Amino acid sequence: MMAHHPSSVALAIPSWLGQRVALVDGTARTGDEEQMRLVLELAAENSRRGGGPFAAAIFTSSGELVAAGVNRVVPDSAPIAHAEIVAIATAGQRVGTWNLRSVGDLTLVSSTEPCAMCMGAVPWSGVRSLVIGARDADARSAGFDEGNKPDDWPEHLASLGIDVRVDVLRPAAAAVLADYAASGGPIYNG
């Protein structure tokens, strides 16, 4: 039974994330590993604060943070509030366009290989690069169902002009997922 019918839907970042992002705003983080370290810090913090063990961020080619997102599925009762979706939506709002490609070569850095839903959002967002920490197998080992993705998804994204780089700090990224599962965090699958 439904409690009420909302008249609007919003994806919001938690206040702690806004404060954390403000601390690094304007600071260039160059290189995949440096950017991934920030994303993994956000994923671990989100887990500690009752969110899912996932984070994502979008960076300019010079390493400036455009936007960050964390998984808000459980705390916001929003099945689509995955970290990548929140980061992409926040970036669009921040730069004022639905087409992120129109503002330059942006990179989406994700703590974990995007699930089927988020993978679909990557080309629609307009990012030029996707950087991944943990892989699908790591998420599944923690109990998450990442959905059905074609085996050739990296080649498909490459054919669309999106550079894919995988396994960036993978052991540390997989540890965030394993720690979440070991702590008894809710495993939310459809």
DSSP string for the chain: --S---S-------HHHHHHHHHHTT----SHHHHHHHHHHHHHHHHHTTS-S-EEEEE-TT--EEEEEE--HHHHT-TT--HHHHHHHHHHHHHT-S-GGGG---EEEEEE---HHHHHHHHHHT-SEEEEEE-HHHHHHTT-------TTHHHHHHHTT-EEE--TTHHHHHHHHHHHHHTT------
> For residue 101, which of 38, 39, 58, 62 has the smallest C-alpha distance?
58
Residue from 34, 84, 146, 155 carrying the catalytic annotation:
84
Question: Is 45 marked active-site?
Answer: no
**Residues annotated catalytic, as ranges:** 84
